[in-house]
A and B are shown apart, each in its own frame.
Chain A
Amino acid sequence: MSVAPALTATNLFKTYGSVVALNGADLQLYPGEVLAVVGDNGAGKSTLIKCISGAEVPDSGEITLAGDVVKFHRPQDGRHAGIETVYQTLAVAPALDIAANLYLGRELRKPGPLGSIFRMLDNGAMKRESKSHIADLGISTIQNIGQAVETLSGGQRQAVAVARAATFSSKVIILDEPTAALGVRESNQVLKLIERLRDRGLPVILISHNMPQVFEVADRIQVQRLGKRAGVVTPKTHQMNEVVAIMTGALKVEEKDQTLQPVR
């Protein structure tokens, strides 16, 4: 039985001057799965997800979201379509509180003339909503929604960033090295969060260099090499060293050994 993919990228090409970043890259993401994208530096991971999120425009190729062909020109386009990205750099404003960060750039205004004429923010509603979103995700370490983000640990900050993405992404969530700036314990918190997002049915693309983490949470692993897909495997079918071998080109995987269909 075949499931319709939540997102596909087909035959994407992208060059920067003479540098070929994407050389016919493909990707299929299915509902409710964590797809890890791994690859050496310059393999085109970042460019691939930038094309998907709208931060870059591919030179050619096609992207579909829930079956419809989409064309993004700015990150906002991807965002409006329901694709949210979490960056490794803990992209939160330290002095603002958690609720303000969750709604940053998408603030709610009060109903009636207070909101439409005086542009007044509805802080109460944003606090209430944030609280329930945070609770939904099971982020129990965050106590006070009015707390400034700078009083939180790195892991909690990233949890806020993930919560923001989860709150507003209806279709796909992309995590670009979400644990790169975090310690071991904090990384585990974020990984737990990723699993919870998947369990809620949201498809996740995880970019990571950290093989143990990838093997812990990914349902399928897409290996990028030289701007295209070198293969898609799963933690069950392949070992960590085999994945690294595919990354470096030492190992080739035949189409029949790949896992191109969803495993969940």
Chain B
Amino acid sequence: MSLSAAEVEFQSNKGPEPLKERLQAKLHQYPSISPVMVLLISGAVFWILNPNFKDPFNLSLVVQQVAVVGAVAVGQTIIILTAGIDLSCGAIAVFASMVMGRTAFANHLPGWQSLIIGLLVGTAAGAFNGFLVTKIKLPPFIVTLGTFNIFNALTLLYATGRDIQASEMNSTLVWMGTTFKAGRFQITLGVILMLLMYLVLSYALRFTAWGRHVYATGDDVEAARLAGIETKRVIFSVYMVAGLIFALAAWILIGRTGAASAINGIDLNLDSITAVVIGGTSLFGGRGRIIGSFYGAVIVGVFRDGLTLAGLPPYYQSLAVGILVITAVTIDQWIRKANK
């Protein structure tokens, strides 16, 4: 610790500019550095504040709690990478969960059929957003503000004022809530599904032409179009894929809460954006890594859990999350200035 401090001193003696610029350039190159640092430091602090924090049971709980928002953040990230935003993501997830629950409960469909119908409905909802953004050419903020209300209303209409409990659904739908032991940790299948989604989307973004086109479109849509990329098709596909991801998150949501309810998960809209932003993805598009959103979601979970264990009232959690978001965006702005 003292050694690295000495190094910093040494470098800043050579002049403050190079170090600052080097740091800026590094953060620019590896946008996941800052969330990982925040995660490690906050983890260490909460551990010191309350040794129970590092208890495997507690850590397992944190991860289980972030499974749903972490999954929704996967879809939110690819949308934000195209310089878009989705305020309706939580509404789509809740709507999809209600479709899964009610088709199983009221229409007595087998669980896997309800699941597939729910996934299709989520995909269609995302495609509807994508249609409004690319064909009607409305700003994503307005589109999804509108569809947020629409999907919410549809959910409430369809729910007919009643939650569907786990006991009223086929076991396929609550399967994601199944826990198993991994060493001293308790993991749910929902956590595994979330991690799989990160894996698949990381691969698609890094190693396929589609992923490269997503970045290029978010970076400079006109340049991407002139380079021969069908930017509208890319953006449409992103909203549609995100819809499917939100529906998969709905499956995790049912497993996590043990019910399909019109009010569970309504915070997901903004919480997913929080996770993406803390994870270092730029709201201006074209910049960021999807794994950062996982760190972002975990950071929020760690703060909520750690502050509770430290004995602080719950509203300090919101305070901390607010500060995190503003800090993250400030850092993003600063990093973006690096090469201007």
Residues of A within 8 A of B (CB): 75-76, 79, 87, 89-96, 100-101, 104-107, 109, 118-121, 148, 150-151, 164
Contact = CB atoms under 8 A, between A and B. Distances in A.
- Size bracket, chain B contacts: 20 to 34
Contacts of A105: 213, 224, 227-229
B223 A75 contact: no
A100 B212 CA distance: 8
Contacts, number: 71
Contacts of B224: 93, 104-105
Interface centre among A89, A92, A101 (most CB of B within 10 A): A92
Contact of A104 (B203, B212, B222, B339): B212
A84 B224 CA distance: 15
Interface centre among B207, B222, B224, B287 (most CB of A within 10 A): B207
A96 B226 CA distance: 15
A90 B287 contact: no
A100 B219 CA distance: 13
A119 B212 contact: no
Contacts of A164: 227
Contacts of B5: none
14 contacts: A79-B228, A89-B222, A91-B226, A91-B227, A93-B220, A94-B220, A94-B223, A95-B215, A104-B224, A104-B227, A105-B224, A119-B208, A119-B210, A150-B339
Given A93-B219, A121-B208, 17 more contacts: A89-B222, A89-B223, A91-B223, A92-B223, A93-B216, A93-B286, A94-B223, A95-B286, A95-B287, A96-B212, A96-B219, A104-B213, A104-B228, A109-B209, A118-B203, A121-B212, A148-B339
A89 to B, nearest CB: 7
Interface string B219-255: 1101110111100000000000000000000000000
Interface in B189-229: 203, 207-210, 212-213, 215-216, 219-220, 222-224, 226-229
Interface of B: 203, 207-210, 212-213, 215-216, 219-220, 222-224, 226-229, 286-287, 339
A93 B210 CA distance: 15
B223 A90 contact: yes
A145 B228 CA distance: 21
A109 B207 CA distance: 9
Nearest to B221: A93
The SS class assigned to the B binding surface is: helix
A96 B227 CA distance: 13
Nearest to A100: B212
Contacts of B213: 104-105
Contacts of B216: 93, 96, 100, 104
Nearest to B226: A91
Nearest to A75: B228
Given A91-B227, A93-B227, A107 B209 contact: yes
A150 B219 CA distance: 11
B72 to A, nearest CB: 25
Contacts of B212: 96, 100, 104, 107, 121
Given A76-B228, A105-B228, A109-B209, A93 B222 contact: no
Contacts of B339: 94, 148, 150-151
Closest 6 pairs between A and B when the two form their complex, measured CB to CB: A105-B228, A91-B226, A107-B209, A93-B216, A104-B227, A91-B223
Nearest to B204: A119
A75 B229 CA distance: 11
A116 B286 CA distance: 26
Nearest to A102: B227
A89 B207 CA distance: 28
Contacts of B227: 91-93, 101, 104-105, 164
B340 to A, nearest CB: 8
Contacts of B228: 75-76, 79, 104-106
